[in-house]
Structure 1
């Protein structure tokens, strides 16, 4: 059974419980590694959770000259290893999602690693375990595929026609984070 992170951005209520839980996760040094962003702050107050997309071919790891960003056997992209990170910040510039953050005081990069100490035992990451609106879920891959199928059907029933510009039609290939 393979578990994945599943995001439904429109379910986010902006409570930031995911950020608080992330700060409490062991090994995070009281730093949040996920974020809650505004879709368009000037137009409305709609928010969405933003965490590492766990790319199959992560740009952050590719541009790291010190090979500090490791990928586990399961495909989880970890934060930079402290003893290898040289503080060049290539990872922060290379990530298309702007996920890796750099701590200037400690001269190291940190990012969401899906609470690997938990997820390797199929225990939900802290953010998913506290999300009251189920915007962030840790579910079986088959359940995720069924949710996506039903969502596509509902969009079609509601009269939304698939096109190249529809975000609900296209889901990039990531290892463990899927969003609709």
Structure 2
């Protein structure tokens, strides 16, 4: 896999096309594995896409006593394997982003796996393939670097500086998802 997910939160228009597409992905059992959240519902209707950050050292996999959460050779963190997941929910509590969800009917965890059946062949995950505002993109790493440089230059020209809350976006511990 030569591409990564790139998120630009402020481009999100709240259409939830990414969620609908996620439900339609072949191996997702008609469940959404990504979410659209409100930045602050009481203050604004601004939304942002939220999906698994594909951490290089995922807390969800570290705390799984059944070793049900696998990491592919490319570094994609997959949902819990049916035959191994014991339903302890350690993964849901360990994730700093609150991404893994627990299905009480199936008694297992599920989360975004970047549509691994597609992305392993450099085909965009369903959410990225339908996002009309390009808030979610599946692009080459070099293209992402170029976009980030251009964005930084524009922010410097406009006199903007990252806030304390924005610092997590620039830490390179995520494998497949980058955001600005």
Distance in 2, Cα, partners of 1:26 & 1:154: 40
Residue 167 of structure 1: CA displacement?
A: 1.5
**Change beyond 3 A, Cα 1:169–1:177:** closer
Q: Which residue of 1 aligns with 2:171?
A: 172
Query: What is the match of residue 78 of structure 1?
Result: 78
In the other structure, the counterpart of 1:103 is 103
CA–CA distance in structure 1, aligned partners of residues 105 and 92 of structure 2 = 16
Contact 1:115 1:125 (C-alpha < 8 Å) held by counterparts: yes
Whether contact under 8 Å (2:23, 2:30) holds in the other structure is yes
Which region of structure 1 is more displaced relative to structure 2, 109-118 or 152-161?
Answer: 152-161
Task: Supply the distance in 2 between the matched residues of 1:170 and 1:135 (Cα, whole angstroms).
Answer: 15
Secondary structure at 2:109 match in 1: strand
Find the counterpart in structure 2 of residue 25 from structure 1.
25
Query: Aligned with 1:167: secondary structure?
Result: helix
- Summarize deviations over 1:78-122 as a string: whole Å, max 9, x none: 000010000000000000000000000110100000000000000
Structure 1 residue ranges without an equivalent (≥5): none
User: After TM superposition, where is structure 1 displaced by more than 6 Å over at least 4 residues in a row?
Assistant: none
Q: Tell me: CA distance 1:10–1:24, structure 2 relative to 1, closer, same or farther (3 Å).
A: same
More helix by percentage: 2
Q: Is the 8 A contact 1:75 1:175 kept in 2?
A: yes
CA distance in 2, matches of 1:63, 1:125: 27
- Trace 1:1-180 onto structure 2 (pairs within 5 A): 2-161=2-161, 165=164, 167=166, 170-173=169-172, 174-180=174-180
Contact 2:12–2:47 (Cα < 8 Å) also in 1: yes
Question: Residues of 2 paired with 1:4 and 1:78: CA distance?
Answer: 15
Length-normalised TM-score, structure 1: 0.96
- Aligned residue pairs total 179
Q: Is the 8 A contact 2:60 2:94 kept in 1?
A: yes
Task: Tell me, yes or no, if the aligned pair for 2:92 and 2:98 is still in contact at 8 Å.
Answer: yes
| C-alpha distance in 1 between matches for 2:62 and 2:105 | 25
Equivalent residues of 2:169, 2:178 under 8 A apart:
no
